[in-house]
Structure 1
Amino acid sequence: MKWLVGIVLAVVGVMLAGVGLIVMLLIDSDANATENTDGGGGLRGVPAEFRPWIFKADRACKHPEMTEAYLAAQLWQESKFSTKRDSSAISDMGAQGPAQFIDGTWATWGRDYDGNGKISRWDIGDAVMSQGALMCSLLGDAKASGYPGDPRALALAGYNAGWGAVQQFKGVPPIWFARRKGETEGETYAYVRIIMAKIKDFEGPGLLEVSGSGINADALRRAAARAGTPYSWGGGGPGGPSLGFCDGVNGYLNGECSASSTVGFDCSSLVQYAYWPTTKLPRVAAAQYGETSHRAVARDQLKPGDLLFWSKGGSGSIYHVAIYAGDGNVLHAPRTGRVIELQPLTSAMPADDYFGATRP
């Protein structure tokens, strides 16, 4: 997936009488960001499960060159934040997990940072904190080396090729180093270039910032903190994301059952999760409409936290639900292959299928 440079399009304050809810929307060209629920203001575009660990890893490093966006860009390049035990997070060189550690490096740097009694490259906490510790050490080596170039680039080269390669070339290895047949750039050169360019895409405030109190504020905030989490048909529930399943029609991507190996939410489980346990909505979109249809809301009267529904014909054919986020935008889990994201109401789903809105 190509990430576009973030462009702030709107800053909108919306106050809801009676609940004191203020919503600020910072809309960029890629809607894969999360709310700043961890007190940070410098990270966007990261799944909620990774955010606290990235902030913790950054705080543990004394070097100012280390930033949350730097770590996030590296994780994106390594695995696209994947924790699936397939080719997305297992390399042909034996590197594994979201931070792509090989056996030898993991034996040195791996720790049980999440305190669950095991040291695993697949545990997000262990992987990200170990990544941060290694990168912090490499930044120290880079700054002490006197080699020309950005210490961040030198550290990245050390992570990819080993610090010995950086010492060999007294800098980032040249473009021909580790180049495979048919490629124009060597692996390490491309690795450094891509990550350094990617940092800016993870910098800045969260896409959807919610403050205030009340049922609507809490639900929208809870859902926004899951932005970036993958869509998984049949996955998710009140307790959070989970593996989904395929039913013969839904859950497939490129002819394979994606849902059964993807931890995430579908559209209605995200809504159920957002409002639970204050409002215990049923599991599927049609049932959620039935539960709340007595509080119908006209389209020109929408408020953040309202539920919007799409149908192929009548209440019995409702196939999608989203949460209104204010300023003409919705927060939702669109479909297999996508993630929870913020989109304009007018283009989130087919316009002719819009069925109506309710207020839980």
Structure 2
Amino acid sequence: MKVAGGALLALLAAPVAILIVIAGLLTTAGASPTAGESGLRGVPPEFEPWIRRAVAECDQPELSPALMAAQLHQESGFSTARSTVSWAGAKGPAQFVPDTWTTWGRDIDGKHGADPYDVADAVMAQGRYMCSLLKDAKAAGYHDDARRLALAGYNAGWGTVIHYRGVPPIEFANGETFRYVKAIMAMLDDFAGPPALNVSGSGAGADALRRAAARIGTPYSYGGGGPGGPGLGFCDDGNGFLRGRCAASTTTGFDCSSLVQYAYWPHTQLPRTAAAQYQATSHRPITRGQLRPGDLLFWAHRDGSIYHVGLYAGDGRVLHAPRTGRSVELVPLDSAMPAGDYRGATRA
């Protein structure tokens, strides 16, 4: 990020605040965003889960893991060194100047306060800021790719984008923003890996699984989420707490049953809780040998009460929202929950 913000005239009069290493004059080509795009490759392992989480928490499908990764590469080369500071004072892997960090930076992992050098804090702030800029870009109605417009706003400030009614021309700031946007868009394919889950076929089950797969990486939030997507949760009876604090009330995400409800909505309007979903579908039991993608999998306590639900993802795997502190994930069925608690499967 180059510019901290401020008045439009200041943005246009001042040089852009970060020295960017440009990867050459590359084409502006980049695949159009696809809902649920989740493939990612070529990023340091400490960055990947936070990139996925930032994307999952954004309601703008244009924000893909590949877009965030390409932007991080362009900003800093994924550097977390304390020496990663521009001459204008922009810091960390996502290159936040102090004023902008004050707006978007938060302490995500509870380490040492909001820190632009901390991977979690920096990537999540980058995601929140880009998500907001994408909304601005689409609301503006300019005839350009919303991703290009958001990147220009991140680099030069949204006021500059408004002034030029699009990505600033090469004459602005010695071409820095123009080349910044061009380079990132050209790198998308370099960071776009295969989807976390390829779902073939059609029908309600496959469609539900495909929709849920787009939410891999979304945080678990007890009581959070519903048909419209992830949402804030709440705490009760010991649920939703993490390390002694109510994490659910500040976490935008899904719990196990809201993810399943979201996946099937509106084709099949399942009830909200795992127990109610079992009751609504138990007249269509499915043996393990009959499982198809999208079937509902249930786990129960010894007294028979249902406490967990997930979606069968094929090849002996389940896609589910496991518990507080974790995220929507794809795991082997037998390790998703205690094997002895597996109650059975139904078809919605």
- TM-score category (smaller protein): 0.5 to 0.7
Q: CA deviation at 1:127?
A: 7.1
Distance of 1:98 and 1:350 partners within structure 2: 32
> Which of 220, 229, 244 does residue 218 from structure 2 map onto?
229
Q: Does the 8 A contact of 1:69 with 1:203 survive in 2?
A: no
Q: How many Å apart are 1:93 and its aligned residue? A: 7.2
Aligned pairs (5 A) from 1:88-237 = 88=108, 91=114, 98-99=124-125, 113-115=136-138, 130-131=153-154, 203-237=192-226
Structure 2 equivalent of residue 160 of structure 1: none
Closer/same/farther in 2, CA of residues 42 and 276 from structure 1, 3 Å limit? closer
Q: CA deviation at 1:88?
A: 2.0
Residues 242 and 327 from structure 1, CA distance in 2 versus in 1: closer, same or farther, beyond 3 angstroms?
Answer: same
Is 1:322 equivalent to 2:310 in the alignment?
yes
**1:241: Cα distance to partner?**
0.7
Answer yes or no: is 1:343 the counterpart of 2:331: yes
Cα drift, residue 299 of structure 1: 1.5
User: Which residue pairs with 2:89 in the alignment?
Assistant: none
Matched, 1:292 2:281: yes
Kindly indicate whether the alpha-carbon contact (under 8 Å) linking 2:105 and 2:115 is maintained by their aligned counterparts in 1: no
**Residue 116 and residue 246 in structure 1: after superposition, are their counterparts in 2 closer, same or farther (change >3 A)?**
farther
Alpha-carbon offset, residue 211 of structure 1: 3.4
Which digits, 9 at most, give the CA deviation of each residue in 1:267-323, with x for residues without a partner?
Answer: 0000011111111111000110011001111122211111111111254x1110000
The question of whether the paired residues in 1 share the 8 Å contact of 2:220 and 2:253 is answered with: yes
Tell me the secondary structure at the aligned position of residue 276 of structure 2. helix
Give the structure 1 partner of residue 233 of structure 2.
244
Note if contact 1:98-1:127 (Cα within 8 Å) is conserved in structure 2.
no
Aligned residue number for residue 62 of structure 2: 53
Hey, what does 2:107 align to over in structure 1? 87
Q: For residues 59-74 of structure 1, what are the structure 2 equivalents within 5 Å?
A: 67=70, 70=73
- TM-score (normalizing by structure 2): 0.58
Closer/same/farther in 2, CA of residues 251 and 57 from structure 1, 3 Å limit = closer
RMSD value, Cα: 4.7
**Structure 2: how far apart are the matches of 1:54 and 1:128?**
11
Question: Is contact 1:54-1:68 (8 Å) kept?
Answer: no
In the alignment, which of 275, 281, 284 is matched to residue 270 of structure 2? Answer: 281
Tell me the CA shift for residue 55 of structure 1: 5.0
Q: Which amino acid aligns with 1:113?
A: D
After superposition, the Cα gap between the structure-2 partners of 1:223 and 1:57, relative to the gap in structure 1 and judged at 3 Å, is closer
Q: CA deviation at 1:218?
A: 1.0
How far, CA to CA, are the matches of 1:114 and 1:286 in structure 2? 42
Q: CA deviation at 1:97?
A: 8.5
Contact (CA 8 Å) 1:234, 1:245: kept in 2 or not? yes
Residue 357 (structure 1) shift: 0.7
The alpha-carbon deviation at position 334 of structure 1 amounts to 0.3
Q: 2:324, 2:79 → 1: CA distance?
A: 22
Tell whether 2:260 aligns with 1:271: yes
Instruction: Indicate if the aligned counterparts of 1:227 and 1:339 stay in contact, CA closer than 8 A.
Output: yes
Matched residues in 1 for 2:249 and 2:272: separation?
A: 18
Q: Secondary structure of 2:136's partner?
A: coil
Contact 1:311 1:354 in 2 (8 A): yes
Name the amino acid aligned to 2:108. S
Cα distance between partner residues in 1 of 2:278 and 2:79: 39
Cα distance between partner residues in 1 of 2:274 and 2:63: 34
* Aligned residue number for residue 43 of structure 1: 40
1:92, distance to aligned residue in structure 2 (A)? 5.2
**Percent sequence identity over aligned pairs:** 54
TM-score (norm 1): 0.56
The residue aligned with 2:19 is none
* Partner Cα separation in structure 2 for residue 252 and residue 284 of structure 1: 19
Q: Tell me the secondary structure at the aligned position of residue 330 of structure 1.
A: strand
Sort the Cα spacing of 1:49 and 1:313 in 2 relative to 1 into closer, same or farther, 3 A: same
CA distance in structure 1 between the partners assigned to 2:248 and 2:202 by the alignment: 34
